[in-house]
Amino acid sequence: MDENLDNLVICSKCHTVHKKIDLPYKKVAKCAVCGNKLYSDVENAFYKAVSYSVTALILFVVANLYPIIKVYIGSNQSILTIPSMVATLFDENFYVVGSIVLVVIFIAPLSVIFSYLALWVLTYFKIYKNFSKHIISFLMVSRNWAMVDIFGVSILVALVKLFGYAQIQPGVSAYALVLFILVDLIFLKSIKPVELWTYFSRAYDGK
Ligand SMILES: [Zn+2]
C-alpha cells in the first residue's frame, strides 16, 4: 500500500479506514459504516482553536487574580483565591495532592492554551513544521490532564459543606471559572487533533 498515511483517517468507533478529501467550509465528514463524525472543515478547527486559547487565557488570568469566594464566619472574613488555595495545600504539607492540583488546574490548562497559541504563530510564519507536529502530540497528552471542570465541582462540594456555619459570597473568579469550564467543554473537546494537523500541514505546504 503506497497510500500516504496523512491522507487516511480511521473511525474512532468502528475503526474503518477512510480516504480523506478536502471539505467545503463548515462541512463534516462522517463514517460511511457507522455515521460517526470523522473530521470537519479544518479551517474551522483552526479558528476554533485560536479563539478558544485567547478566550481561555483571559478567563484563566481573571480566575487567578480575583477572589473565588469570600467566607464570613462571625466577624471574621477570609478571602480565598485559587492560588492561595493551592498554596495552603503545600503549607499544610499535602504535597502529593498539592502537586496534582497544580498540574490539573495550572500546568496542563496553560500548556494547552500556549500550545495552541504557539501553533498559531508557527503556522503564521510557516516555520518549524516538525516542531508543530511535536506540539500537536504534546497537546493530545496535556489535554487529558487539564481538569479544571473537576476542580470546579470539588469547590462546589466544599462550599455546600461550609454553607451550614458560614456566610459565603462568590467572587469574580468564581464566575470566570464557570465561564472557563463552559468554554473548555464546548470548544476544547470539539477540536480534533487530526483536523488541526491537516490544517497545519496544508498551511505549511502552501508556503
Ligand atoms: Zn465508523
132-184 residue pLDDT tens: 888 888 888 888 888 888 888 888 888 888 777 788 888 999 999 999 999 88
Ligand 1 centroid–CA 140 distance in Å is 21
pLDDT of residue 131: 85
36-64 residue pLDDT tens: 988 877 667 777 888 889 999 999 999 99
Give the span between the Cα atoms of 38 and 21, in whole angstroms: 11
User: CA triplet 200, 12, 44: central angle to 5 degrees?
Assistant: 35
Which among 135, 124, 144 has a CA at the least distance from the CA of 188? 144
Ligand 1 centroid–CA 74 distance in Å is 60
Ligand 1 centroid–CA 19 distance in Å is 13
pLDDT of residue 206: 64
How far CA 127 is from CA of 130, 161, 175, 187, in Å, comes to: 9, 52, 38, 26
| Backbone φ and ψ of 62, nearest 5° | -60, -45
Ligand 1 centroid–CA 72 distance in Å is 55
Give the span between the Cα atoms of 42 and 205, in whole angstroms: 15
pLDDT of residue 18: 92
- Residues lining ion ligand 1 (Cβ < 5 A) are 11, 13-14, 16, 31, 33-34, 36
Residue 202 has pLDDT above 80, yes or no: no
Give the span between the Cα atoms of 102 and 177, in whole angstroms: 16
Ligand 1 centroid–CA 40 distance in Å is 15
Q: Provide the pLDDT confidence category of residue 21 given band limits of 50, 70 and 90.
A: confident
Ligand 1 centroid–CA 149 distance in Å is 29
Name the 3-class secondary structure at 171.
coil
Domain locations in the chain?
Answer: 1-40, 42-205
**Which strands sit side by side in the sheet containing 76-80, from one edge to the other?**
76-80, 69-73, 167-170
Ligand 1 centroid–CA 15 distance in Å is 6
How many percent of the chain have pLDDT more than 90? 29
| Residues 53/110, Cβ–Cβ less than 8 Å | no
As a whole number, mean pLDDT of residues 17-29 equals 82
